A and B are shown apart, each in its own frame.
Chain A
Amino acid sequence: MISRTHVHCTVNGDEVDFLADDATSLLDALRDELGLTGAKEGCATGDCGACSILVDGAVNCACLMFAAEAEGHEITTVEGIADGDHLHPLQQVFLEEAALQCGICTPGVLVSAKALLDHNPNPTEAEIRYALAGNLCRCTGYDKIIHAVQEAAVQLNGASK
C-alpha cells in the first residue's frame, strides 16, 4: 500500500500544499506535482547537482530528499531566483557570458552559485570552484561558469553600494 503525506511548505515564496507518496523524492514532487521543471534529474544519487535547490537558504540535492521532508520549510528553485521579469544578475551574466552549452546543469549551477554569493559576496576563484564542486558540467570545462559567477558577484556588490 502506498502511504501518502500531506505537505505544507513555501516554494519560491508561495505557500503550497500537496500530497506526496512517501517514497517520492522532493525532486519528483517539484517537477510532477508542482510543475517546476527547472531542477533536473541527472544522476539521482547526489553526485551531479542538476537538482540543486535551496532549503531554508542552504543548497541541497532535491533527489536526495523525500518530498515529505519539505514540511514547513522554505524551498527555492531556479524558478524563484529572478525578480519577476528581471533576471537575477547570475542569470543575466550566464546569458551574456555564454556560461552554458547544453544547459542541463545550469539551473543547479545557478542555485548553488546563489547560495554561495548569499553567504559569501566576495568569493575567491578557489572558493567558487569548491562551492560548485557538487555541480557537474560536461560541456563548458567550468571556466566560463567561474568567470560568470565572479562577474555576477561584482555586479551584485556594485548594486548594494
Chain B
Amino acid sequence: MRYAAPTTVDEARDLLTGNPGSRVFAGATDLIPQIRAGRPEPSVLVDLKRIDQLVSITESDGRWTVGAATPTSALTGNDAFTAAFPGLSEASGLIGSDQIQNRSSWGGNLCNASPAADSVPALVANDARAVIATGDGTRTVPVEEIVTGPGQTSLADGEFVVEFEVDAPPAATADAYLRMIPRTEMDIAVAGAAVRLTMDGDTCTAASVVLGAVAPTVIRVPEAEAALVGSTLDDDTLAAVAAAASAACDPIDDKRGTVEYRRQVAGVLAKRAATIAAERAGGAS
C-alpha cells in the first residue's frame, strides 16, 4: 500500500487510472477503520486534500461550489453558507465529533455510500450536483444518482468526485434536516429527513422531501412533496406528509430500530422538518 498526495486533479486521475486497486480518500474516517477491519488494502492511497480545488468553498453568480474533500467543519463555520443552507449546514455538522468534523467531507460521506449518511438527504433536497473526474474529463450528475445501494456507487473505476455544485436557494426558500439517534451526539441516524420549501406568504409553492437511513439509498417522497405544494402546512397536510414518508420507507430491522419504529419516526421527522423549513423560509406554520 503506497500513499500519494497529488496536487492537481490530473495528477490524481493519472494515479487512479495507472494503478488498479487504488482508492481516493479525504478524511479517511471510514477508510482506515475499514482497512483495519480486514477490507482489502488499496494499492495506492490517493489523498485528495492537497488539491486546492478539492478543499475550497466558493460562491459566484448564485452558485456555491464546494470541494469534495472540504472538511464539514469549514462548512458549518462558514456563516454565509450556513445562512443560505441552514439545513444542509446542520446535516453536515452532525457527522461525528469535532475530531471527525475536521476530517469528514461531502465527498466521503456520499461515496462511502452508507444509507445513513447525514449530508446526503440535505444535498439531494437542495438539488446538489456532483462534478466527477472521469478518465479523460469531467461529468456532472445529480447527487441522488451517485449512490446505488449500501456501499455501492455509480462511479466507474478511476472516477472520483471533484466538487459539488449547489444553486443558491430562490427567495423565500429554506431547508431543514432532522435525524433520530438513540443518544444526543456521536451516533448514526436511525432515520433522517431533509425538507426544502419555497413559501409565498403562508402557502408552500415548492417542496423537496428526502429521507435517509430508511432504505438502501436516500429516497425522495413525491407524495409528501405533492401534499405540501399549495398547502399552508395545516394539520391535515402535515399528517399527509408523515403518512407519505412512513409509507415510502423500506428500512432495515436491527437492534437500533425496528422496521415499524423507523417508519414511524421517519414520518414524524419529515413533518417536523417541513415545519422548521417553512418557518425559516418566512412562512407561517
Contact = CB atoms under 8 A, between A and B. Distances in A.
Interface residues of A, number: 31
A44 B36 contact: yes
Interface in B91-123: 96-100, 102-103
Chain B: number of interface residues, binned into ranges: 20 to 34
B76 to A, nearest CB: 12
Give the interface centre of B41, B73, B100 by most chain A CB atoms within 10 Å: B100
Contacts, number: 84
B98 A59 contact: yes
A135 B47 CA distance: 26
B186 interface: yes
Contacts of A131: 98
A92 B147 CA distance: 49
Contacts of A66: 3, 28, 32, 45, 47
B185 interface: yes
Contacts of A58: 73, 102
B5 interface: yes
B203 interface: no
A133 B45 contact: no
A7 B183 CA distance: 39
Interface in A59-75: 59-61, 63-66, 68-69, 71
Interface of A: 3, 5, 22-23, 25, 44-47, 49, 52, 55, 58-61, 63-66, 68-69, 71, 112, 115-116, 130-131, 133-135
14 contacts: A22-B3, A45-B33, A46-B32, A47-B186, A55-B102, A59-B98, A60-B102, A64-B27, A66-B47, A69-B47, A116-B98, A130-B98, A133-B186, A134-B97
